[in-house]
Every structure is written in structure tokens, then in C-alpha cells.
Amino acid sequence: MILSVQERILLLLNKFFQDLVEHKLSEKYGDKWFEQYLVPYVTAYTQDSNNRTNKNFEKYNAFLNKNNGNYSKKDIDVTFASALLLYDDQLQLEFESNEKNALNQLRIARNNYGHATDLTPLHRMSLNSKTLIDLKNAVLTFGKESISPGMFEEIEELEQVVLNPNAEANGHTSEKVEESICDQEYNRAEDLLKNDNLEEAYAIHTELDSQGHTPSTIRLGDFYRLGIYVSSDIDRSVDLYEKAKKQGELSVSEVIESLKELKQNSKEAEEGKLNSQFKLGIVYEEGKLVPQDKEKALYWYQKALSQKSLLARNRVISLAESGYKNAKYVVAEAYELGRGVKKDLDKALVEYEKILYGDTEEIAALEKVIALSDRNAESQYNLGIYYHDKKNYKEAYKYIKRSAENGHANAMNALGYLYSYGQGVEKKLETAFKWTEKAAEQGLVKAQRNLGLLYKNGTGVEKNLKASFNWYKRAAEHGDGKSERILGQFYKRGYGVKRDYDMAFEYFQKAANRGDIVAQYELGLCYGLGQGTKTNHTEEVKWYKKAASQNNSDAQHNLGLCYCYGDGVDKDYSMAYKWFFKAAKAENPRGLYKLGNCYEFGYGTYVDKEEAFKCYKKSADLGWKPAIEKVSPRNADK
């Protein structure tokens, strides 16, 4: 039987996939890796409702069901199987670096080749060519010694046939054919770059550079010079341009010299040389040689301005007039301190007020306004918050304290926070309580909630659950969702008030409807246990799903239980495994324990005693008693 080119390529893809996967999975599962790992995984994966529209499932299920379960690895659909493996986070973590890179190369080959068994028409040579190049690179990455004998030679033979069947007859050398392919790939990478597909463009140019393709070497230099996809790296950029120059591309000489001058200017600017500081500002402002960065430009202009540079002053004024708010601040400061202009405090105040009351949101201008007026509590508070965001806690404390003493409720609450954590001031819990109480008494809702927490924990005041309950209640009366949820927990546990499941349910419901994630989980519990309402597993699942989808690990664990026991949903071990896995990733001890059950008994996944023990051990380390019992030496032989 004579196979077509497409059929030979598909068989090569299949065979390489088998070599790659068997190399890893056979270490754990032996000859049964396919039946014990891949088939159960595919079965679980195909039940994912988000993927049921994929046509590959029909083809793969047909394969699984034929021959009464006698699987033939030659029948594996490489497209779907490799996609599954790439989808599996656990397996990805197990692969060594070279194997993972090879698998990613295979994914590229699969994407370029076409979907499933719908083979690319022979007349579309570029796709077949790209497939072979990608497959060849994948094999080289994996290691020729680790693949089936003769595969690499067949790839090279097919490469010559597909690239140009009449290459020798037409006088085309293999070098010219390779050069033509590189040019095609370069153009494809440039199209990807134009369409903002930076990752793949970078990958192609990197590969072509390694093959000595000069235009791609230059483009990689541009990537590193301009910080496209990668972090800007002038040294790496210069190395690439010089490599291209050695390959005969003299057009890069000018940019090499400019980059070397930039490095020299950077060194001299750090040493305080005014002219270099000014030049560096221009380079960053214009953004021609390196990525435009007005913040860096302004930084170097300021350095030059501090040395009375009139040229730097003019550039800063130009930036300010163009609407760059940070430059406006520098102009105002220049008038205040006499940097490059005659010192003029009245003019400085006018410039600061323009920033404060103009279209900009530049809060830093408040500092100088307050320094000259010092009577506006709101401005003092805003400035304190600005400094706190900048982690300048001493300045934050100074202005927040000033605002609090002028009667500003938010500042009082913030001052309590600073005293609680010792930010900008010595830690004093009693003083923190005092300022939080002042803010709460003024009706500030978040301060009322904070005061409830202080009474609850006995922080800076004697522990008093009744007082805590009362302050949370005052905050909840103003619609504070978090306080509503905490009130629900107080009623549920009888903290500071008589236990009342009906009231707990009512507050959980209010908070859950406001979007409080923990309240959504608590509401699910109420429906599941029939606390404060009739048992309703459908509603239980509904609220668990809301919280679980927002990464609440307790809800994820409980949702897994619902699928495990069929409460409110159809019993589905694969879905139970999915949610236990998510909870376990968040290091939820109960989630880890149940995931261990799944691996131990094969619920929704393959049996893996080693993985089960790891889960139990992690759960035990987090203090979950059933897990502690599970890993106890006295239970080792059970």
C-alpha cells in the first residue's frame, strides 16, 4: 500500500507523540499507560460541559468504543491526544524541561497541520513544510536517540519531497530551499507581529536566528531594544545587532553606536554629569531608540534642572503644556525652589492649585497647597493616603493625624489603622481603638465595622462580644454587606446574642445578595443543613457554585461533596474530582483529604496510591484530623 505524503506526515506525528508520552508515562504505568492513564482521562475530560461541542469528541469516542475496548495506539488521533496532554496541568508539571518543550513544538506542528484527521491539501505546501520543520525541531528538542529508529531520516526525506519535489532538476540547492523557507517564516512572523501575536512572532524569530537568518537576528535585536514581548535589555540588543553585522548586515552600525552612546550617557548621568542627564531625558521622551518613558525622561530632566539647566527647564515646561501631569508638578516645584527659574512662592502656589483643581487627578500637588494653607482637613487626609500608597508612612501619619485632629472621620479611622500596625508611628493598640471609636461615633460605617472587630478580638480594649455585635449591627443597618455576613455568623454561633438560625439565615441572605463570597458559602450551608430554612439541595448547590467560582475553597470542597453524593445534582465523580482538585490547589485541608480519596479509590480519575498519600500528608500537615489518622504509622498496614 502506497501512502500519500499527508498520511506519512500524520503517521510521523502519531509515532512521535507515542514516543514522547510513553517515555514519561511508562515510568509510572508500564505497558498499560494508555489504558490506565489516557483513556480514563479522556473519558473525564469529555464530560466537561464547556468542551462538548468539540467535533474531536465524536471521533475519539468512536475510537474508544470500537473493537470492544481493544485499543490500538496507532489509531490515536494525535491532534486531540496532544491537546489533552497540554490541557493537563498535573502532567505538564511532571514533564522535564526538554520533554515539555518538545511537546509544545508538537502542539505547534499540530496547529499548523490542521485539525484532527482533516488533512491539509497537498497543494498548500507552506503548511506541510511548516509541519515538517516544527516536527523536526520537536524531535531534535526531545533527542534523536529517544525516538523510533529511522524516524528522523524519514522526516528529512519527506522534507525534501514537500519543500520542492523538483529541487535538483531545477538547480535549487538544499541551501536555497532552506533559505526560501526561512524567508517565508520570517514574513509569517512579521505578520504575526503586526497582529500583536508577540509570543509566536518572538518564538519564530528566535528559531530563525539560531539558523543564522540575519533579518530575524536584527528583529530580535529590536525586540530587546524596544522591550517588545521581552524586558528591554540593551546589552542583549547590542549583541544581536553585532552578530548581524558580522553576518554582513552593515545597516545596523548606526543603531549599535547609538546604543553604546546611550550606555555611556547612562553611566555618566548616574555620576552626575549634567549634559548626559539632559541627553538621557531626550532619549526617553522621544522613544525612538528605546521605549518611550516619560517618567524616566522627567526623572533625568529633574536631575539636570537641579543643576540649573535652562534646557531641561524648557523640556519640562513643554511636557507640562502637553498635559503630562507629573511634569506640571515639577514646574510648580521649580518655582517654589528656584530650580532653573527665579524663586516665586506665589507663582508656585498658583501652579499647585492648577493641578489640584484642574482636570488632572494628581494628588501629590496637595502637599504644597497644604504647606501654604494648612487648613483643609479633606486635603490633608487625601495627601496622607497618597503618601501611604507610596509607602512613605511617616509623611502619611503626619497628614492623617493633622486631618483627624481637624475632625475628619475617615482620617480618624485611618489613624487608628496606622496605630494598629505601627506604620509611621509607634504601635499603640489602645490609641488605635480610641481613634477608631471616634470615627465610628461620627457614623463612619467602615469604622463601625472595624470597632466591632476590635471588641470581638479584644484588641486595644477588653473583649466584649455583645459590644462587638452592637457595632456590627449599626454598620449592617447602613447596608454594609460584610457586617451583615458577620452578624449572621454571630447569630449562628451565639456570639454576643442568643443563637438564632432564622436570623443567621436572614443576614447571610442579605450579604450573599450583595455579593459577599463567604456569605454565599454560608447560605449554601444553611440550605444544605436546613438551618433557618427548609433543606433545599438545589439552592445549596446554586450558592456553592457562586462562591466556588470566586475561588472560595470551602465552597469548592462542599460542591465536590454534592457531586460525590448526588445532592442537588446528578452524581458525577469526575465533577467531584474537579472541585476537590480546585479546593486542594488552594491548600484547603478538607479538599486535599477528599482529593486523596479520589486518587486512592479512582473516583473520577485514575488510581494513584502515591498521589493519594501526598494529598493526605498535606492535609494532615494542615491539621485535618481524618488525614492525620490516615497517615498515622499505626494505620500503615490497614
- Per residue in 219-230, pLDDT (tens digit) is 888 888 888 888
Residue 609 lies in a domain: yes
227: domain CATH number is 1.25.40.10
**Residue 157 to residue 65: CA distance in whole angstroms:** 36
Do 79 and 185 fall into the same domain?
A: no
Q: What is the pLDDT of residue 129?
A: 55
| Residue 587: domain span | 551-638
- Which residue reads 542627564 in cell numbers? 277
Distance of CA 137 to the CA centre of its chain: 29
Q: What is the pLDDT of residue 595?
A: 95
Condensed to tens digits (0 to 9), the pLDDT of residues 48-77 reads: 434 433 444 444 454 445 433 443 433 344
**Residue 592 pLDDT level (bands cut at 50, 70, 90):** very high
pTM of the predicted structure, to 2 decimals: 0.46
292 or 624, which is more confident: 624
Residue 532 lies in a domain: no
Q: What is the pLDDT of residue 242?
A: 87
**Residue 225 to residue 290: CA distance in whole angstroms:** 6
Q: Say whether pLDDT at 362 is over 60.
A: no
Q: What is the pLDDT of residue 275?
A: 80
Q: What is the pLDDT of residue 163?
A: 54
Lowest mean pLDDT among 181-185, 225-229, 321-325: 321-325
Nearest to 241 by CA among 182, 226, 200: 226
Containing 163, the helix (H) or strand (E) segment is helix 151-163
Nearest to 600 by CA among 586, 619, 587, 585: 619
Lowest mean pLDDT among 86-95, 302-311, 433-442, 575-584: 86-95
Do 229 and 101 fall into the same domain?
A: no
526 or 91, which is more confident: 526
Do 124 and 17 fall into the same domain?
A: yes
Do 153 and 36 fall into the same domain?
A: yes
Q: Say whether pLDDT at 176 is over 90.
A: no
Residue 311 lies in a domain: no
Condensed to tens digits (0 to 9), the pLDDT of residues 73-107 reads: 333 444 344 444 443 433 443 444 444 444 454 44
Percent pLDDT > 90 in the chain is 36
Q: Say whether pLDDT at 606 is over 80.
A: yes
Residue 146 lies in a domain: yes
Q: How buried is residue 113: exposed, middle or buried, by Cβ count under 10 Å (0-12/13-18/19+)?
A: buried
Helix segments in 227-344, DSSP class H: 234-246, 253-270, 274-286, 294-305, 310-321, 325-337
Q: Say whether pLDDT at 334 is over 50.
A: yes
**Best-predicted range by mean pLDDT among 368-372, 376-380, 551-555?**
551-555
Residue 347 lies in a domain: no
Residue 326 lies in a domain: no
Q: What is the pLDDT of residue 512?
A: 95
Lowest mean pLDDT among 158-167, 367-376, 577-586: 367-376
Looking at every residue in the chain, the average pLDDT score rounds to 75
Lowest mean pLDDT among 99-108, 230-239, 296-305, 547-556: 99-108
Q: How many domains does the chain have?
A: 3
Indicate the residue among 205, 237, 267 that finishes a domain: 267
Range 581-594 average pLDDT: 96
**Best-predicted range by mean pLDDT among 33-47, 195-209, 518-532?**
518-532
Residue 138 lies in a domain: yes
Check if the beta carbon of residue 150 is closer than 8 Å to that of residue 8.
no
Nearest to 421 by CA among 459, 372, 378, 477: 459
Check if the beta carbon of residue 40 is closer than 8 Å to that of residue 605.
yes
Q: What is the pLDDT of residue 372?
A: 46
Do 149 and 42 fall into the same domain?
A: yes
